[in-house]
Amino acid sequence: MNEFIQHVINGLSLGCIYALVAIGYTLVFGVLSLINFAHGEMVMMGAYFGMYFAKHFKLAEEPGISGLLLTLVATMIVTGCIGWCVEKFAYRPLKNAPRINLLITAVGVSLLFQFSGQLIFGSAPQFFPQLVEFNLDTWKIGELQFNPLQITVLGIALVLTVVLQTLVFKTRTGRGMRAVSFNRDLASLLGIPATRVISLTFVVGAALAGAAGVLVGLVYPKIDPLMGSLLGLKSFVAAVVGGIGNLSGAVLGALLLGLSEEFVVGYLAPTYRDAIAFAFLIIILLWRPSGLLGVNRIEKV
Amino acid sequence: MKKSKSTPHLSVIHRFWFIPAIAAVAGIGYGLEAGLNAYAMSLLANTGISILLAISLNWVIGITGQFSLGHAGLMAVGAYTSALLSLRLAPALSLTGLTGFAESAVFSVNLLIAGLVAAFFGFLLGLPSLRLKGDYLAIVTLGFGEVIRVLFLNIDAFGGARGLPGIPNSTHFFDVFSWVLIAVLIFSRILNSPEGRALKAVREDPIAAQALGIELFQFKLKAFVLGAFFAGVAGGLYAHFLQYINPQGFDFNRSFEIMIMVVLGGMGSLTGSVVAATLLTILKEALRPLQEITHIDFRMILYSLALIILMLLRPQGLFGSKELSLTFLKRLGGKR
Amino acid sequence: MFRQNPSRLTFALAAVLALSFSACKKKESTETSAASSSTILIGEVGSLTGSEATFGISTHNGIDLALKQINAAGGIGGKQVQVVTIDNQSKNDETALATSKLITQNHVVAVLGEVASSRSLVMAPIAQQNQVPMISPSSTNPKVTQVGDYIFRTSFIDPFQGEVMARFASENLKAKKLAILKDVKSDYSMGLSQFFIEQLKKSGGEIVIEQSYAAGDLDFKSQLTAIRAKSPDAIFVPGYYTEVGLVARQARELGMKMPLLGGDGWDSPKLYEIGGKAIENSYFSNHYSHEDQSPRVQEFVKNYKAAYGATPDGLAAMGFDAMMVLAEALKKTPDLDHKKLRDAIAATKDHPGVTGMLTLNSERNPIKPAVVLKVENNQSKFVATISPSAAPTK
């Protein structure tokens, strides 16, 4: 029984990591209908920037929550700027091109980050400084072990989801985003600055990715230039399972994916872990093509 | 459109031009084998395999509008089938150590089986998933490719992570290019038939095509299975070219690589795919001296930059959906 | 809009493009062969970028250091040695092309590479078919040298290393119940655990649970939780340091205190950084210990630190040894004949390498001891040397 509960705890905390990356994915898709394959690489950039930032200001010497927040904010600003540049130079010129072109460009951007990352940061993995420290023994209930870091991550993921949800559904900008997502041309005609809204969406998405990068680095303190690829793909799966474009769906999908991976490893065949993620995806999509919480969009003639 | 009717004896040549072409492939192949060094030959083989992969994916994406990212998985099915046939079945039938024509003949049968198995998997994948549209189809096929890879990684009979070494070196110029020839032949024959026009209708406007009485799903599935067949053949050629396969070689990055060739050449343009596959394969090699000078491998950075820039400047790919043809070339010349 | 049957042109185009390219390539080949007479050209295929770059770069640095020393000492037979390095991006297809380019375009006398056994298995048939000697610095899969008589290696093989750690676990640690956590994506890890299990069963030990992960994973808690339930005396984690550091951290997080055991894939200064306190008191087998006081090793460590600013790991040491073994053989074959060079490499006996006295056996594998190191205070401490004498010849 203890083992089972421990698996549940592990699965949820793994799901939190996926959730953090998945909400950024789903936000950009919701507004632009673009599978932004470069999102995982943005996570990687965030992790590296956070590492250099923390090392430069020696934040790991005095671990504390203020150092973490400082790094998070700085990283979000920087990746937000990178996101803005990517949108302006790589995606915006393509706004009238077919979707597959945008997709290929996204793959191109992701390859560019991966390979220039290997040149600039070196391809050996790096250690991510421990910005906060906990005494693990105090986070124990009987045999069950909690990781306070991962609870922090879960907290941050939930807060970010609520903030985003408010941004999208309660603010003027959010109304603009939804309008652009519904019909870009019509939105422009109605006086919504579509270009600016799209740009903003990207900046927010990239900033989220940056924050995710720092938190992933904190929980799994090994970062390398190719780390974004698999993480991005799995989070994307989570976003699709939850219903891509739906923020709470992304969190739900991520937690489900985390749990299912955990149980496959714990009780079935550990080596099939990656296959399960995708088999899960295929089954859900065939059964409910728009995901668990997604709304089925009817293609127009 | 305004093609004048050719004289009867010419039309015979038109119809059966591929017979001398195959002979030419064989001739050139043997000539080259004698005259060229191993590097040039392996580059040629590699280029040919890329072409086969690109045109078979273009058949699925470009001609019928089915956005598939599972090509690496289908290629893996072909590669493993073909490798296992050579490693396990051929010795049992004492079909090893053949040379020349006998080797090619046995290898062709092997590839045919590999292609059929891949086509069967394509059928299994297409049956449920082709009902999905656009991005969702892409995601499901991507997932399929990954599931296939993990299966090969986990089943000991397929070598697991250690892969399958010792595959005979049977992929020669002749094998590669005669299969390219066969693929081109079949695809273009279908394109110019009533079915081909139906396929294009499915791509341009699936809903209208359905209204015109085209069995949408059936058409998509047929096209998908045919594409899968050639992906499987390409996989078999690849296995016997590399003489070693492991699951790492068939991850989603390869699917992307093939898709990039297709989009670069222009979706729906077979000649475009040929040019793009050739260019990309050869460019990567041609840029090697750059690495020798700088001691840093810039190639992939250049490659990704070129990809982004090309998408920005020429979103429809090099050739759009047009074919490079004599009339097209003449018009280009006329404009100047 | 298909104006005419595109097949002829499509095909003609393919043929013309391919042919014109191969024609210009051929010209190039004559140029390079002329240049090679004044220097000795050696080829190296390495993973300098891509998923396994961190190992490829260490090996490359080791080779490079050896090369500088050889040339500084006047080269071989008065000729300077040049290594043509080609990056294969950790990919199989690139490896095949790179190897045939080195052999047929650059006309190298021998090729060095690869780190990963899988890519050595791509290189080996090409080298064998062209009768060019190949030395793999660190591929441990026994199948690599079985490809043919031109294929050598300077690292010990999986069976030996698996056996070393199994013997160490049962004899030195007195561990009876062992758990295994292997990397299912890596042929190296799979091989090591297979031979570890075989030997452990012979010495009366028991494998209580086998779990696995895939390289690139970040979370190992599910596997570790399952392992924890069986409470083993030690866990054998035959993976690379890139994952082992995280495995150790997460094991300690789950309150597991037993030692971890591993192989040469652990060897990197990064292990101590990523693993931190969690990796302390764990053991791994390696090719050499950088604190070995023999002057040979100390000189190598000093030179390597001066050149690359880092403590050399096992892969760097093996890159160095592979290059030195090749250089020794080249000294014996002034006419650079491939066949004679092959024979000279095969005759390598008691070569004083950084990784120990190196003798190649009839299967072209080295006979040399392994060391077992313990992680203590963010460093590796030498614990024991285990010689192959007791190893069954396989």
Q: Provide the pLDDT confidence category of residue C123 given band limits of 50, 70 and 90.
A: very high
pLDDT at B335 (0 to 100): 44
Q: Provide the pLDDT confidence category of residue C321 given band limits of 50, 70 and 90.
A: very high
pLDDT at A296 (0 to 100): 56
Q: Provide the pLDDT confidence category of residue A17 given band limits of 50, 70 and 90.
A: confident
Say what the pTM is.
0.86
Count of structural domains, chain B: 1
Which sequence spans correspond to the domains of chain A? Answer: 26-227
Q: Provide the pLDDT confidence category of residue C61 given band limits of 50, 70 and 90.
A: very high
> Hey, are the CB atoms on C53 and A123 less than 8 Å from each other?
yes
As to burial, measured by CB atoms within 10 angstroms (0-12 exposed, 13-18 middle, 19+ buried), residue A193 is middle
In this complex, which of C4, C93, C187 lies closest to B163 when CB atoms are compared? C187
Kindly report the nearest CA distance between residue A62 and chain C, in angstroms.
17
Q: Could you give the count of Cα atoms lying within 13 Å of C303 in the half-sphere of its Cβ? A: 19
- Which stretches of A172-272 are DSSP H helices? 172-182, 184-189, 194-219, 227-242, 247-267
A164 vs A174: CA distance, rounded Å: 9
What integer is the mean pLDDT of B58-85? 89
Omega prior to C114 cis, within 30 of 0: yes
Task: Read off the pLDDT of residues B193-237 as tens digits, 9 standing for 90 and up.
Answer: 887 787 777 777 777 877 877 777 888 888 899 999 999 999 999
A257 touches A237 (CB < 8 A): yes
Query: Given a cut of 80, is residue A114 above it in pLDDT?
Result: yes
In this complex, which of B132, B134, B259 lies closest to A285 when CB atoms are compared? B132
B336 belongs to a structural domain:
no
Kindly report the nearest CA distance between residue B308 and chain A, in angstroms.
5
> Hey, are the CB atoms on C89 and B297 less than 8 Å from each other?
yes
In terms of Cα–Cα distance, which of B54, A256, B236, A44 is closest to C216? A44
Q: Which residues of C touch A271 (CB under 8 A)?
A: 184, 212, 214
Query: Given a cut of 50, is residue C126 above it in pLDDT?
Result: yes
What integer is the mean pLDDT of C192-200? 90
- Residue C293 is given by DSSP the state -
Among A256-260, B16-20, C301-305, C326-330, the least confident range = B16-20
Widest Cα–Cα separation across chain C: 79
Per DSSP, the three-state class of C286 is strand
Under 8 Å CB pairs connecting chains B and C tally to 189
In this complex, which of B47, B300, B322 lies closest to C1 when CB atoms are compared? B322
pLDDT at B8 (0 to 100): 45
In this complex, which of A236, A274, A299 lies closest to B150 when CB atoms are compared? A274
Among A151-160, C29-38, C147-156, C267-276, the least confident range = C29-38
What integer is the mean pLDDT of B94-106? 78
pLDDT at B27 (0 to 100): 67
pLDDT higher for A142 or C303?
Answer: C303
Residue of A nearest to B146 (CA): A275
Cα C251 from chain centre? 27
Query: What are the C-alpha distances in Å from B208 to residues A251, B171, B213, C232?
Result: 38, 44, 9, 66
CB of B1 within 8 Å of a chain C CB? The answer is yes
pLDDT at C208 (0 to 100): 92
pLDDT at C237 (0 to 100): 94
Kindly report the nearest CA distance between residue C89 and chain B, in angstroms.
9
> Hey, are the CB atoms on C223 and A265 less than 8 Å from each other?
yes
Tokens matching residue A199: 């740009």
- Residue C390 is given by DSSP the state G
Residues above pLDDT 70, as percent of chain A: 96
C348 vs C324: CA distance, rounded Å: 11
In terms of Cα–Cα distance, which of C80, C46, C49 is closest to C60? C46
pLDDT at B3 (0 to 100): 42
CATH topology of domain C159-286+372-390: Rossmann fold (3.40.50)
C32-156+293-360 and C159-286+372-390 share one fold: yes
Query: What are the C-alpha distances in Å from B210 to residues B137, B203, B218, C19, C263?
Result: 19, 11, 11, 44, 61
What domain range includes position B142?
Answer: 43-251
Kindly report the nearest CA distance between residue A128 and chain C, in angstroms.
8
> Hey, are the CB atoms on C53 and A220 less than 8 Å from each other?
no
Among B111-125, B199-213, C88-102, C283-297, the least confident range = B199-213
Query: Given a cut of 50, is residue B4 above it in pLDDT?
Result: no
> Hey, are the CB atoms on A301 and B153 less than 8 Å from each other?
no
What integer is the mean pLDDT of C45-63? 88
Among B193-207, B302-316, C278-292, the least confident range = B193-207
Query: Given a cut of 70, is residue C23 above it in pLDDT?
Result: no
Query: Given a cut of 50, is residue C365 above it in pLDDT?
Result: yes
Chain B partners (3+ C-beta pairs within 8 A): A, C
**Contact map slice: B 245-304 vs C, CB within 8 A:** 245-249, 270-271, 274-275, 278, 282, 284-285, 288, 291-292, 295, 297, 300
pLDDT higher for B298 or C247?
Answer: C247
In this complex, which of B136, B142, B307 lies closest to A104 when CB atoms are compared? B307
B34 belongs to a structural domain:
no
Task: Read off the pLDDT of residues B144-189 as tens digits, 9 standing for 90 and up.
Answer: 998 899 889 888 888 888 889 889 888 888 888 889 988 988 888 8
CB of A295 within 8 Å of a chain B CB? The answer is no
Query: What are the C-alpha distances in Å from B258 to residues B63, B251, C383?
Result: 15, 12, 51
Which sequence spans correspond to the domains of chain C? Answer: 32-156+293-360, 159-286+372-390
Query: Given a cut of 80, is residue C280 above it in pLDDT?
Result: yes
Residue of B nearest to A115 (CA): B301
Q: Provide the pLDDT confidence category of residue C9 given band limits of 50, 70 and 90.
A: low
CATH no. of C32-156+293-360? 3.40.50.2300
Query: Given a cut of 90, is residue C152 above it in pLDDT?
Result: yes
pLDDT higher for B14 or A26?
Answer: A26
Query: What are the C-alpha distances in Å from B256 to residues A103, B53, B149, B312?
Result: 10, 12, 15, 18
Residues above pLDDT 90, as percent of chain B: 21
Task: Read off the pLDDT of residues A126-151 as tens digits, 9 standing for 90 and up.
Answer: 899 888 777 666 677 777 777 777 77
CB of B11 within 8 Å of a chain C CB? The answer is no
pLDDT at A213 (0 to 100): 93
Q: Which residues of A touch C193 (CB under 8 A)?
A: none
Query: Given a cut of 60, is residue C30 above it in pLDDT?
Result: no
Under 8 Å CB pairs connecting chains A and C tally to 101
A236 vs A250: CA distance, rounded Å: 9
Kindly report the nearest CA distance between residue A223 and chain B, in angstroms.
21
